[in-house]
Structure 1
Amino acid sequence: MSSLVDLYPPFGLHVVAGPLELRGLTDELLLEVCDVAERGIHDPDEMPFYFPWSTAPVGELGRNTAAYHWGKRSTFSPEDFCLDLAVLLDGQVIGCQGVAAKHFPVTRTGETGSWLGREFQGRGLGTAMRQAFCELLFDHLGFEEITSAAFLDNPASLGVSRKVGYRPTVVNRIKRREGELALNQGLVLTPETLVRGEVPLEVTGASAVRAFIGLA
């Protein structure tokens, strides 16, 4: 009989970097991710995301978050996927880290995105989890380039990207909230510019995910 990992290999992905872990986003972990999101990610007058999903009312925010991840699972293919992992510190879920890619077997690139529960911010965890994730993508999952972006009024996110080794590209003018213009700084990372974490990674489940995203 097939297991859930056989049917959806990202469930079996597990990365350990000291006290930090990145784990496949099973429904059990998704419940914890939703709880962290409900407790708050940013100040109400701030908006670090392209789409203001984090402003949904308590209760609705958790349902929306779960529905988003369920939807991305159901459409996952090498031509268009979002690989999202739960981030844990000492066994406790603290946020989420992911990458979105299109036509990956050809492009070998994707855009990273992440968030931390507000209670866990300001402790260097955002940098450590991004380093671990980018090492996973480059060393184990066949990525040759990683992109990201952050609004110019989000210095914390830009600071994390700078510490990890992303380089600035273009600034785009986009609509953020209704009637609001925001300037969005593009970023790019390559294996040569990646600033690696101090702790070597322990990775399991990567070979099955490589096949799932279209690599032999």
Structure 2
Amino acid sequence: MSLISHWPLAGLRLTTPRLELRLPNPDELAALASLAAEGVHDPAVQPFTVAWTDVAPEQRARSVLQYHWRCWGEWQPENWELNLVALQDGVVVGTQGIGARDFAIRREVHTGSWLGRRHHRRGLGTEMRAAVLHLAFAGLSARHAVSGAYADNTASLGVSRKLGYRDDGIEHHVVRAESAVLRRLRLTPEQWREHRQAPVKTAGLQECLPWFGLD
């Protein structure tokens, strides 16, 4: 019996014109960890609400491994985090996550992602997010997708605007002992359809639906 028989998420694939997104195999997860060690963003800023990159390179790599393993081990249909590796021509360029709590009732997902620093400014972040939004709205019939970025994170906010998100309020956070404003964003199916950026193909989803809390 194959792994997919027990863990159908291993067979889920999202493809865009340039990327394939899927759960990483051990070698791909190791490549993702190495990419994190090389650097994810300008060290002068901290774009994440969890400052996991403010550590030494080897600690960043280890945290990537542990985070993926933890999400796999703690998966429940009522509370899940799907973290897909993004590959371009077989090369790991980053990771795109989508998650939800009580999705069968709330029908709301949240997303998060990062790219290796050498893969920035190529439009890949938009394509990655477009892939999981297609999964959410076309595949899982979500009613809302939410995201957020600090007010000075123009790249992330730009991706959200391009994909049709609207403002959903603010939050006050502390980043490196300084006050920071997080802008919340929300997307509906109608806004998503109006701002689709790239064609997306999905494979292996039907077998995964019970794992997302759906019949």
TM, length-normalised to structure 2: 0.94
Does the Cα contact within 8 Å between 1:132 and 1:197 map onto a contact in 2?
A: no
Distance 2:116 2:92 in 1: 9
Distance 1:142 1:78 in 2: 15
Partner of 2:184: 186
| Cα drift, residue 175 of structure 1 | 2.0
Does the Cα contact within 8 Å between 1:173 and 1:182 map onto a contact in 2?
A: yes
Does the Cα contact within 8 Å between 2:36 and 2:57 map onto a contact in 1?
A: no
Does the Cα contact within 8 Å between 1:112 and 1:147 map onto a contact in 2?
A: yes
The answer to whether residue 197 in structure 2 is matched with residue 197 in structure 1 is yes
Change (3 A) 1:176 1:10: farther
Runs of 4+ in structure 1 deviating by more than 6 angstroms, as ranges, are none
SS in structure 2 at match of 1:55: coil
Count of paired positions: 213
| Cα drift, residue 72 of structure 1 | 0.9
SS in structure 1 at match of 2:95: strand
| Cα drift, residue 88 of structure 1 | 1.1
Q: Which runs of 5+ in 1 are unaligned?
A: none
Partner of 2:15: 16
Q: Residue type matched to 1:190 in 2? A: T
Does the Cα contact within 8 Å between 2:104 and 2:213 map onto a contact in 1?
A: yes
Identity of aligned residues (%): 39
| Cα drift, residue 197 of structure 1 | 2.4
Of 101-110 and 133-142, more deviation after overlay is shown by 133-142
| Cα drift, residue 91 of structure 1 | 1.5
The answer to whether residue 132 in structure 2 is matched with residue 167 in structure 1 is no
SS in structure 1 at match of 2:53: helix
Q: Which runs of 5+ in 2 are unaligned?
A: none
Does the Cα contact within 8 Å between 2:22 and 2:85 map onto a contact in 1?
A: yes
The answer to whether residue 177 in structure 2 is matched with residue 215 in structure 1 is no
Query: What does 1:1-216 align with in structure 2 at a 5 Å threshold?
Result: 1=1, 3-177=2-176, 179-194=177-192, 195-198=195-198, 200-216=199-215
| Cα drift, residue 7 of structure 1 | 2.5
TM, length-normalised to structure 1: 0.94
Q: Residue type matched to 1:197 in 2? A: Q
